[in-house]
Amino acid sequence: MKETIKVNNLTKKFNNNLALNNLTFVVHTGEIFGFLGPSGAGKTTTIKILTGQLSHDGGDITILGQTPNTFQKIANQVGVVSDTSGFYEKLSIYDNLLAYCKLFSVTRTRLNTLLKQVNLYNQRKTIVEKASTGMKQRFLLVRAIIHQPKLLFLDEPTSGLDPTTTKKIHELLTNLKKSGTTIFLTTHNMYEATLLCDHLVLLNNGKVVEQGTPKNLITKYNSEKKVTLTYKNGTNEIIPFIKLKTVDDFSKIETIHSCEPSLNDIFVTLTGGELND
């Protein structure tokens, strides 16, 4: 399988503090790759290094056949959404995006379609400095994908958004993947990662603590099979599967469902902390 990103023993220090400790992972072409971890785990630092915004202290990196030092050669093939993404605050959302359209020879038709997909078309005339955080988040996403990049970096793309808009963005990302865009997604949202990601890395304190597909990780850490009992009085109980035979009165039970560990459960098992800390 073709590799879009290859990272081997990546390290980064800030003063004497080790922010990234020998990270090694591969992102395959055309997949959504999840980079999961709590705040301060090193997710944003990694994106800044991969996109040439920050130097690294050790390790090897290849992105679309280039290194961070030669990132400018592939800059027009990459889209980035992060908390440091800049824009013209005195212009409207639409005028900001029109400037990008001209830069990449993109039609207004495509721009309007993208704005509608993220529920921003009716607010397109809003001056950026007066836009809400959620509007700015969606604006930056549209700007990052307007030129149909081969590789898209997203740093917490749905943070603070309402459920309806979040669902639309998930649909948009899925369609981007189908069209061949490789997506590098950082998030601490376990549901989002399970829903979207083909492969993922669990990061804690600058170290990779586990990686694989969501399904394989859940299977790996589901050694003690459990079930959820929902009683007719509305209460729930989680018990090991082997203890089902000890239940006294099944007539009190409404439903029985298998209970698999979530990515957050796995993270707690590995680190003692939670992904959404």
Distance (Å, rounded) from C-alpha 23 to C-alpha 12?
10
Segment among 82-91, 113-122, 236-245, 247-256 with least mean pLDDT? 236-245
Give me 197's structure tokens: 């990601």
CATH 3.40.50.300 placement within the chain: 3-213
- pTM of the predicted model, to two decimals? 0.84
Going by C-beta distance under 8 Å and a sequence separation of 6 or more, which residues neighbour residue 121? 112, 115
Segment among 11-15, 57-61, 102-106, 162-166 with least mean pLDDT? 162-166
Q: Is the pLDDT of residue 206 over 60?
A: yes
Beta strands in the chain, from DSSP E residues, in sequence order: 3-14, 17-28, 32-36, 58-63, 78-81, 151-155, 182-187, 199-204, 207-212, 226-231, 236-240, 253-259
Q: Is the pLDDT of residue 82 over 90?
A: no
Average pLDDT of the residues in 54-60: 93
Assigned architecture for domain 3-213:
3-Layer(aba) Sandwich (3.40)
In this structure, the number of other CB atoms found within 10 A of the CB of residue 84 comes to: 10
The pLDDT value recorded for residue 34 is: 95
- pLDDT interval class at 83 (50, 70, 90): low
CA distances from 108 to 104, 133, 146, 232 (A): 12, 24, 10, 56
More confidently predicted of 237 and 201? 201
